[in-house]
Amino acid sequence: MANYADFQLGLYLAGMAGDTPPYPLTFAGLEAAAEAKMEHRLWDYVAGGAGDEHTQRGNVEAFLRWGIMPRMLSGAAERDLSVELFGHLLPTPIFMAPIGVLGVMTDDEHGDLAAAAASAASGVPMVASTLMQDPMEDVAAALGDTPGFFQLYTPNDRELAESFVRRAETAGFQGIVVTLDTWTLGYRPRDLQHATFPQLRGSCLVNYTSDPVFRGRLAVPPEEDPAAAALQWAMTFGNPTLTWEDLAWLRDLTDLPLLLKGICHPDDVRRAKDAGIDGIYCSNHGGRQAASAPALELLPAVVDAAEGMPVLFDSGVRSGPDVVKALALGATAVGIGRPYGYGAVLGGRAGIEFVLSCLLAETDLTMALNGYRSVADLTREVLVRT
């Protein structure tokens, strides 16, 4: 078992030789450094949220309403952070949540490959977005032995949706995550102020422009008319007609584990379970889509309704204590979004690995100093309202 807390010891030892950490260690520091470096329209797309961004702030503040009960003399000198997910024994309970512009957030504009390489090195799984800067086949190959999952924005073209799923399956992804809350764009004033966003400028559409079905919908190849390809993407991207009745079609597309992302109501959990869905992904899209309740407040009821079915969670996770709190409320695994995205901005693969190491060290130390030896010890009883 790795003691991820040893990462901080390495930083102290490096300091004895005069070396200081290459990147900020707090979310606020990462955020400020990334903002200073990023092009302003891309920054607003990544950092912004829906409406007045109250939901986005609420996601973060929800974690502050919970404290962790310390237990002493519990023999927590070594911890086991491993979790099991769809038959995979993962070394840690965190995963990289999908970021639809990750590809253009690194200096070389290959951010998806950078995250995949970081996943391979760390054992932290990646949920790769449909919106990539490199083809899904290349990203899957870069994951090495670490299981990866493909996040599907279900297009309104069923043949294209089926092609995406088949390609993901053939590429070696270990599950399909269907995002439900983005059949149309949320009201995002920051993007509206610029009157554009990255995909309309042709970024992160490679999975579309490399797909034979999508290419067959174009009058000329996308290499000859990128603007026409972007327009075709915009007309294809969302699927407002997707309903519960369509789950049978989605379920029949693949034998891989199928998860629904954006499920936050217990009744929806039960309907998904009855439809043969394998996992729930509780999320409000980081506050980017609809104004809603903080996702963390909805997690316990989702977990109860799942009755043992895996529940992934993201939205507002910024630190190791946040990870511990989400696990204690019942999440099977906890997704990190903007923190590792900002690491990508600052240092590509190295920046992502640094952020993951920081989060894992803080998670490990939070468990250790509060007296919890394994993820199994993190039940709701360890939390107190503050």
Residue 370's pLDDT band (cuts 50, 70, 90): very high
Indicate the pLDDT class of residue 1, thresholds 50, 70 and 90.
low
Q: Mean of the pLDDT values across residues 5-16?
A: 96
- Look at the domain 5-373 and name its fold: TIM Barrel (3.20.20)
Contact 80, 373 (CB under 8 A): yes
Beta strands 88-90; 83-85: pairing state: antiparallel
Per-residue pLDDT, averaged over 55-71, amounts to: 97
**Contacts of 123 by beta carbon, 8 Å cutoff, 6+ apart:** 90, 91, 92, 146
Catalytic residue (one of 40, 88, 110, 285): 285
Confidence tier at 248 by pLDDT (50, 70, 90): very high
Confidence at residue 224, expressed as pLDDT on a 0 to 100 scale: 96
Let me know if 194 is a catalytic residue: no
Identify the pLDDT of residue 3: 87
- Domain segments of the chain as ranges: 5-373
**Which residues 6+ apart lie within 8 Å of 332 measured at CB?**
83, 85, 93, 279, 310, 311, 312
- Say yes or no to pLDDT of 2 above 90: no
Q: Give the chain's mean pLDDT.
A: 97
Q: For residue range 232-246, list pLDDT tens digits in order.
A: 999 999 899 999 999
Regarding pTM above 0.85, the answer is yes
